[in-house]
Amino acid sequence: MENFRLYIVNMLMLMILASSSKSQITVYSGLEGGSYNQMALDMANVCTGLKIEKSKGSVDNFRKLMTKDGPLIAFLQEDVIIDEQYKDLQEGTFRLDGMRVILPLGLEEIHLVVKADSKLKGLKDLRGKRVNIGSDGQGTTITAKMIKEITKSQWRDHTLPWDSVIPALLARKIDAFIFVGATPVIKFTDEYKDQLKILPLDDDRLREFYHKTIIAAGAYPFVTSDVVTYGVKSLLVTNLDKLDAKNISQLDNFVDELYKGSQTQLTNGHSKWKSVEYDLSSIDWIPYAYAFDLFHPTPKAGSDLNLLSGITGGSYETFAHDIEKISGAVKSVTTSKGSVDNFRQLYRRESIYLCFMQQDVLAQQRMEDIAYETEYTKNMRVILPLAFEEIHLITRKSDKITDVKMLKKKRIAIGSIFQGTHLTSKLIRDIVKGEWIEIPMPIDSVIIAMQKKQIDGFFFVGSSPVSKFLELPENSDLQIVSLNNPKLEKVYTPIIIKAGTYPWQNTDVNTFAVTSVLVTNIQDETPEQRAQIEKLLNDIKSNISTLQATGHPKWKEVTFDFKNVKWEIYDVSKSIFN
């Protein structure tokens, strides 16, 4: 019997150990002696269940993040992500769709390193010289190639592995090397001290892609005065495509511990932790939602109604200013990056309390809530259905494209990741089995890109007439392409953009439309906020004839009828409009 008990105990222990090993989060760091590896080890001191794996570098990390199953975290250079995004555009792939940023880690300095006795003084002196640019898997290689292309430098590329680079430099087998890493790079400090020198990287042409900074005097024993250089943003990321609900819970626990560690212990590690700003609102990539919420605690909104509209020149902006004119309840109108951006800001309730939104954006966010067991849509309420927003697919007349089937292998802009257009166009592509190449590009850039023939067309979702398109002259080489695929009727409403809606459009166009809505967030709603919304809705109701006569033409479609709203309706709206 005693042996049986021991057997059971041992089996339970094995099960517990097996369970704990499965729950580990793998962190892909970087090269031995590099800043990523040191920062990963720092995280392991404050976060439980981390398995730190060294790697060849940022490119290698990206490959693993995209191909291996989660839960995974990786350190990445931003220019590596941009390079991979460009490959997605060229190849028609979507590897970055699931990428989420857990934390921006500040800048990694670009080190241009030579021997201490070298007579080289900067980039201009590298012509014909042997420069090591990193090896396969390193983000340094991407950065070095970008620098070479931007500055038109003519050094000779060498691709020695990291462990061989400094010995090769000291043996004069190479003349210089480039390395991207957060200062101080431990390998430079501990092993080589006075044998190295860092050259300035001071070329204004690099400003377009990189961020000017300095390697401060004293950062290394051999740096006695500030060295001007450029930096690459580094990010801590995960891949939602590789995660299930259990993995999400594990990551959330990691973020909790990382947050607590950032308040206490992390600053005792690599010196770069002291300069991390923990500001996920400043990044150009989609943040990991729980990390954003934790590092940006939601402030309480006041009683004043701030109305978030949309992109400058879009129909939401026109609608918002129309409302502002007839209602004193609206304190201010603020533009945004688009409908998806509106949802994020409304969820956080950072001074914005009402916003315009496409209904399919709400639906998509609810699907994500279900998939990842989150509740970001839980407190969203529609306070007013507005008008249809037409889906504009615009191409050049001279290309004679008349149907989406003719878009195969064409480069089609789909808006930025913050726009509802981005979501709508992706859904259309899935429904019609489209084979065009998706180009994430904000609306401000598409017309110029069309003129330069950098793209072959673009989608835009907005209530016609969209003021930006009204500004284009009659002789513009543009047309709206009909969307006739009946499969789209399952999601969108058939509609016609009438001839003459725009100066350059002389025929009716069959397309589809998205319902636009005015939305609020009832989380922690106060009686004062509720009273202001009630005043706003009453103002709109009593001034609808004025809005229809003097505002955006689409006000004529607003009927206060909620039957097509497929969402929870704000209870005050029900009492006012029923």
Give the pLDDT confidence score for residue 268 in this predicted structure.
Answer: 87
Please give the model's pTM, rounded to 2 decimal places. Answer: 0.55
Contacts 24+ apart (CB under 8 A), 429-434: 431/485, 431/487, 431/488, 431/490, 431/491, 432/404, 432/485, 432/487, 432/488, 434/404, 434/407
Q: Is cis: bond before 297, omega within 30 of 0? A: no
pLDDT bucket at 18, cuts 50 / 70 / 90 = very low
pLDDT bucket at 303, cuts 50 / 70 / 90 = low
CATH number assigned to the domain with residue range 106-233, chosen from the 4 options 3.30.70.980, 3.40.50.740, 3.40.50.300, 3.40.190.10: 3.40.190.10
Give the pLDDT confidence score for residue 129 in this predicted structure.
Answer: 96
Query: How many residues are there in the chain?
Result: 578
Measured CA to CA, the distance from residue 92 to residue 75 in angstroms comes to 25
More confident residue, 342 or 9: 342
**For residue 93, is pLDDT > 90?**
no
Annotated domain spans of the chain? 2-105+235-295, 106-233, 305-387+516-577, 388-515
pLDDT bucket at 19, cuts 50 / 70 / 90 = very low
**For residue 15, is pLDDT > 70?**
no
pLDDT in tens, 139-150: 999 999 999 998
What fold does the segment set 305-387+516-577 form as a domain? D-Maltodextrin-Binding Protein; domain 2 (3.40.190)
Instruction: Please give the structure tokens belonging to residue 469.
Output: 């398109």
Cβ–Cβ < 8 Å for 57, 140: yes
Cβ–Cβ < 8 Å for 393, 480: yes
From residue 475, give the alpha-carbon distance in Å to each of 318, 456, 458, 472, 505.
Answer: 25, 18, 19, 8, 10
- Based on the number of CB atoms within 10 Å of its own CB, is 489 exposed (0-12), middle (13-18) or buried (19 or more)? exposed
What fold does the segment set 2-105+235-295 form as a domain? D-Maltodextrin-Binding Protein; domain 2 (3.40.190)
Give the pLDDT confidence score for residue 544 in this predicted structure.
Answer: 96
CATH number assigned to the domain with residue range 388-515, chosen from the 4 options 3.40.190.10, 3.40.50.2020, 3.60.15.10, 3.30.110.30: 3.40.190.10
Give the pLDDT confidence score for residue 284 in this predicted structure.
Answer: 80
Compute the average pLDDT of residues 153-180.
93
Give the pLDDT confidence score for residue 7 in this predicted structure.
Answer: 40
The domains spanning 106-233 and 388-515 adopt the same CATH topology = yes
More confident residue, 486 or 208: 486
**For residue 28, is pLDDT > 50?**
yes
Measured CA to CA, the distance from residue 184 to residue 109 in angstroms comes to 9
